[in-house]
Every structure is written in structure tokens, then in C-alpha cells.
Chain A
Amino acid sequence: MTPAWAQIGNLAAALAFIFALKALSSPKSARLGNRVGATGAIAAVAIIFFSESNLKHLLLILIAVAFGTIIGFTAARRVQMTQMPQMVALFNGVGGGAAMAVAAIEFLSVGASNGFVALFATVFTIVIGSVSFTGSIVTFLKLQELMTSRPVVLPLGRFITIGTALTTLFVSVYLIVSPEIWAMWTLVVLSLILGILFVLPVGGADVPIVISLLNAFTGLSVAASGYVLDNVLLLVAGTLVGASGTLLTQLMAKAMGRPLTSTLFGAFTAKASTATGSAVDRPVKSAGPNDIAIMLTYASKVIIVPGYGLAVAQAQQTLRELVDLLITKGVEVEYAIHPVAGRMPGHMNVLLAEADVPYEQLKEMDEINSEFSSASVAVVVGANDVVNPAARTDSTSPIFGMPILNADQAEQVVFMKRSMRPGFAGVENELLFNDKTTLLFGDAKDSLSKVVAAVKTM
């Protein structure tokens, strides 16, 4: 039996987590909230060392904790802000893996003697934890571009996935009815495969939503293992994350204008969009930095559409320099931030905040979209999909239905791009071939600093 002081301590930790989530919802209190959450977690770990009777292997456990702390801390400190989404995916994945391992050990040591509900919870944790583990690793590979970010649809993919899911379900039921060790390991393997199959067909732009969903999954598996281990704190913390994660996933999907089902299963139903193969040969209008500088200096209003390419080139500082310069020349400049600019909702805000861009210049999509028609120039830096008009018009396009920034309504459009390569979603952008569009090829940082130099001479 857990001593009373430990139970009270666990209650305090649970309250800390609730407070953390609440505080994270508002910019003012967010950082404090996160620290309170961290304190709660550390307290919970300390409590378990002192309250759980006859823990064996203490030294090994402490070494493992120290080892994990060093890895986690170093990875979190070293990661660049641009690579944040895949880092979060990876952290989520290892959490899912840990939950799965905990359930597997519990099954090995207690197994059949556990009641029906506990067995059910064990099986649930194994399946969901494994799916979260391999699923997160696939999202990591996609975001890190170690594999293609396009939807991967295996031949007969839908049947393979449904088949695997059904087999997993069958083995799950079997394991609950007749708890045998070989069935447990079979279930682990099947669930790990299921996680991969589940995420493979998800296209690039939808990956953030999947990370959020897998995050909720891990939360639920932690909650279930809390039930198995009779640990109320795990139950509460896991459920909190599961519930808030589910809601957050829905909010994100809504911000992208994508029903959740089409995010997850869209690739199975949508025809592989017939990429107009001749795209490479189509004429585009390109110009040098000087032309762009003239265009911007004599504009009355400029709207900047920053994208992930900007961040990859580490050009946020240079962009801010250009904007400051234009403002001193009397040009009205604003940033249009698409909800999923960057790789995750809010990611671009983080990246621009890092470059000290004043908060007031950042406009969210709903706020700015009506202003494009009165803008002289829309400058798209390292973005593509978020201004692709196909999202409005082409119902066969994988990004159809995603709300976009109305850059095409500006008087003129400037694209700063490295190449004609399509965006993360792998879709051709008609706006590039529009008459009012001018392209400036090259690395975003390089192009921007050339434009800055040219504007300075005017």
C-alpha cells in the first residue's frame, strides 16, 4: 500500500500537470506552466523512490535515469528550432515505447493472475504504445527528410493495413482470453508494424496532426498502464494528455481545414494527383535582386509570407533586416503567418520570435487574408503550399480544402525559391506560372541579403 504522504504528493503532482496544461494555453503563463509541470514530474519520480517498498536494482535504475537525462537534455538543447517538430515526435515515440515495455514486463511477471480489466488495459497499452513508437519514428524520418515526405501507398496498401489491424485485434482478444507469452510477443510485433503502416500514407503537410494524435495515443497508453500498476498519478497524467491531445489534434485539423479522417486516410482514397509532367518546361518570369528591390521600395504595402524554406536557410534575421529597412523607407510591411507555416502550428511564430521580429507585425491568416487585395507586393519566402490556389479550386489536389493565404490577390507576387521543386506536400503550384508572379531563384538568405544591399543604395 502506498503511504499517505506519497498519495498526497502524487495528488500535488497531478495538480501541477493540470496547472501546466492550463497555463500552456496562454502566452503569458506558458513558461511558468511548463516549469510547474517539470517540477511535478520530478517530484513524482522522487516520491516513487522513497515510497515504493523493496525496489531492487536501485543502482542500475539510477544509472539508467542519469543516462536518459543526459541524452534527453543534450538532444533538447542542441536541436535547432527548425527541427523542433521531429524532436517532439521522437520524444513522443520513446515515451510510447517506454509505456509498451512497461506493459510487456507487467504481463511477463504477473500475466494471467491479473483480472480481466487489467489484462485488457495491458493489451491496450502494448498496442497503442507500439503504434505510437514506430509511428513517431516514421514521422521523424519524414520530417527529417530521411525518407520521402509524400504519402507512401503500398500496392494494395489499404488491404494490408486493414488486414494487419484486424489481425492485431484478433491477437489482442486472444491474449485477453488466454494470456500466453508467445501471443504477447506476436502482438508487440504486429502493433509495431501497424504503427508504420498507419503513418506511411500520411502526406507531408499532415504530419504535424499525426504527431499530435500519436501524442494523445501515448497519453492513453500511459493512463492504461496506470490502471495496471494501480498508480493513480499515471492514470490521471495519461488521461489528461490523452484528452487534451485529442482536442488539440482536432483544433489543428480545423486550423488546416482538414477533417481528421481525410488526413489519416486521404491518401488511400485520393487519386495520385496527375502531376502535369510538362511543368518543368513551362515559362516562368524570373528577375534579379535589383528589380525586386525597386519593386519593394516603391511599393506602398508589402506582405511577407514566410515559410519553412526561410528557416532552413537561417534567413530570419536577414528578412527582419529587409523589413526594418523598408519600414524606414515608408513602406507598410506585415508578415502573414499561416497556421501551419513551418512544420507545425505556431512553428513560424517561434522561428520569427527567435529573430526578434516584433509580435505586432505578425498577422494570423484570418486577420490578413482580406488585406492581400490592397497589397502592392506579396513576398513569398521559402513557402509554397500555403499560397497554392489549388487548395481552393482543384478538388483532386491532395491539399484541396486547406485554407491558404490569398497571396494571389496581391497586385504582384514575388517568390524567393531555391528551385522549381514543389513544396512539402509535393504539389505543383499554379501561382508560380501566373503573369503577376516574379521569381527570384537562390538560397533565401543569399537572395534576401542581395535585396537588402540593393534597397540600401536607393
Chain B
Amino acid sequence: MSVEIALLTIFILSIFVGFEVVSKVSTILHTPLMSGANAIHGVILVGAIIVTGHADNNLELGLGLVAVVLATINMVGGFVVTDRMLELFKSKKSNKTGEKK
């Protein structure tokens, strides 16, 4: 099996997995889910590090460093902001006010 075919296989299988995992999400979690998925594509940082690490001139290096900064913001900010949102969902079962009559 050539590398191309292997990558294509992985690509197509990933599409199905991607569809499958979010197919039953409830409306209230749409925002955190979007934010979490957003953080995941921050792994482009890995790509940014690779190309910057092999930069041969100042243009490539400068552009690469910008990409590294942007990708890190995407990744770190994305996960932290999602965590903050989800923190709020967690606390609600502990206090059950409002039931008193």
C-alpha cells in the first residue's frame, strides 16, 4: 500500500469518526463543543514548529514564528476557554435551591 493510499484511508475513516462522535450532542453543549473542537485544531502548532525548525531564510523564519504564536494562542486559549465554560455546568447539581415553597 502506497503512502498516498494509506493517508487517504486515514482521512476517510477520520471523517466518519468525526461525524459519529458528535451526532448525539445536546443543544446546550453546542458552544462548548465548538470551542473544544476549535482548540483541537490548534495542533497545527506541531506543523508550525516543523516548518519553522527547517526555515532557511529570514522570511520563512519570521512567518514561521508568527504561525507558532498564532497556533499556540489557538490551542492554549481554546482549551482554557472551554474549560471555563464547562466549569459552570459542573457546579449546578450541588446546589438545589428554588424547590422550597
Contacts and interface: CB of A to CB of B under 8 A. Distances in A.
Do the two shown chains form a genuine complex with each other? yes
A321 to B, nearest CB: 11
Interface string B6-31: 01001100111111011111111111
Contact of A21 (B15, B37, B51, B67): B37
Given A41-B79, A85-B31, A102-B67, A71 B73 contact: yes
Given A68-B70, A247-B18, A327-B98, A101 B31 contact: no
B73 to A, nearest CB: 4
B88 to A, nearest CB: 4
A52 B97 contact: no
Contacts of A24: 22, 25, 29, 32-33, 36-37, 82
Nearest to B97: A358
A48 interface: yes
Nearest to A347: B31
A324 interface: yes
For the complex of A and B, list the 5 residue pairs with the smallest distance between their C-beta atoms, beginning with the closest. A68-B72, A243-B18, A55-B53, A72-B77, A345-B30
B70 A356 contact: no
Contacts of A45: 43, 45-46, 49
B28 A232 contact: no
A68 B55 contact: no
B83 A35 contact: yes
A252 interface: yes
A344 B30 contact: yes
B47 A222 contact: yes
Interface in B61-93: 61, 63-93
A439 interface: no
Contacts of B71: 68, 94-95, 98
Q: Which of A215, A324, A353 has the most CB of B within 10 A?
A: A353
Contact of B86 (A31, A218, A248): A31
A72 B75 contact: yes
B80 A240 contact: no
A298 B61 CA distance: 70
Nearest to A351: B88
9 contacts: A26-B26, A31-B86, A31-B89, A41-B43, A56-B55, A67-B69, A87-B81, A109-B60, A241-B18
Given A44-B46, A68-B69, A239 B18 contact: yes
A4 interface: no
Contacts of A102: 44, 47-48, 51, 64, 67
Interface string A83-112: 011011001101101110110111011000
A229 interface: yes
A199 B56 CA distance: 36
Name the interface size band of chain A: 35 or more
Nearest to A22: B21
B40 A71 contact: no
Contacts of A360: 98
Contacts of A91: 35, 38-39, 42, 73-74, 77-78, 81
A315 B60 CA distance: 49
A255 interface: yes
Given A56-B53, A94-B74, A242-B18, 7 more contacts: A45-B49, A57-B61, A72-B78, A91-B78, A97-B67, A244-B37, A359-B93
Contacts of B65: 57, 60-61, 64
A72 B72 contact: yes
Interface of A: 13, 17-18, 20-22, 24-27, 30-31, 33-35, 37-38, 41, 44-45, 48-49, 52, 54-58, 60-61, 64-65, 67-69, 71-73, 75-77, 79, 81, 84-85, 87-88, 91-92, 94-95, 97-99, 101-102, 104-106, 108-109, 117, 211-212, 215, 218-219, 222-223, 225-227, 229-245, 247-248, 251-252, 255, 323-324, 327-328, 330, 337, 339, 344-347, 349-350, 353-354, 356-361, 364
A27 B89 contact: yes
B69 A64 contact: yes
Q: Which of A33, A109, A223, A244 has its CB near the most chain B CB atoms (within 10 A)?
A: A244
Contacts of B60: 105, 108-109
B36 A87 contact: no
Contact of B36 (A21, A48, A233): A21
A33 B38 CA distance: 14
Nearest to B4: A117
A71 B33 CA distance: 22
A334 to B, nearest CB: 10
A88 B38 contact: yes
A68 B73 CA distance: 5
Nearest to A32: B86
Contacts of B45: 41, 45, 65, 98
Contacts of A356: 91-92, 95, 97
Given A25-B21, A31-B83, A346 B46 contact: no
